[in-house]
Amino acid sequence: MTYVITENCIKCKYTDCVEVCPVDCFHEGPNYLVINPDECIDCSMCEPECPIDAIVADDDLTDENKHFLEINERLSKKWPIITEIKEAPSDAKEWENKKNKLDLLEE
């Protein structure tokens, strides 16, 4: 099992999640974070830290967002590790809970 970051993180990227991870498995891209599923130990510490509920256990992924497991796996191999909270994008609030943000994901 692993935890997965889903669509709502795109363009919000609050980073509240990163500092609680005991195994530093968060990776940062330009406007989204992912979790490395090979490193995640399923401790669940990060899930309640996200203010917009973007982090989900893979068992709880719906058909609609199950493709985010592959996206987390693929991009975690490419992006650098992030372990410290940083300032969110200035327009993050405007993007909370917006649908169909996947096209805006910058790889």
Closest Cα to residue 5, out of 37, 43, 41, 38? Answer: 37
17 binds ligand F3S (CB under 6 A): yes
Burial of 9 (C-beta count, 10 Å sphere; 0-12/13-18/19+)? buried
Give the containing element (helix H, strand E) for 5: strand 3-5
Stretch that binds ligand SF4, among 21-29, 64-72, 84-92, 96-104 (CB under 6 A): 21-29
Residue 3 binding result from ligand F3S, ligand SF4, none, given CB thresholds of 5 to 8 Å by partner type: ligand SF4
Q: How many CB atoms are located within 10 Å of the residue 90 CB?
A: 7
Stretch that binds ligand SF4, among 6-14, 18-26, 72-80, 86-94 (CB under 6 A): 18-26
Residue entry with tokens 């498995």: 25
The binder of ligand F3S chosen from 54, 56, 71, 75 (CB under 6 A): 54
20 binds ligand SF4 (CB under 6 A): yes
How many distinct helices (H) and strands (E) make up the chain? Answer: 2, 4
Residue 43 binding result from ligand F3S, ligand SF4, none, given CB thresholds of 5 to 8 Å by partner type: ligand SF4
Catalog residues that contact ligand F3S under the rule CB under 6 A.
Answer: 5, 9, 12-17, 33, 49-50, 52, 54-55
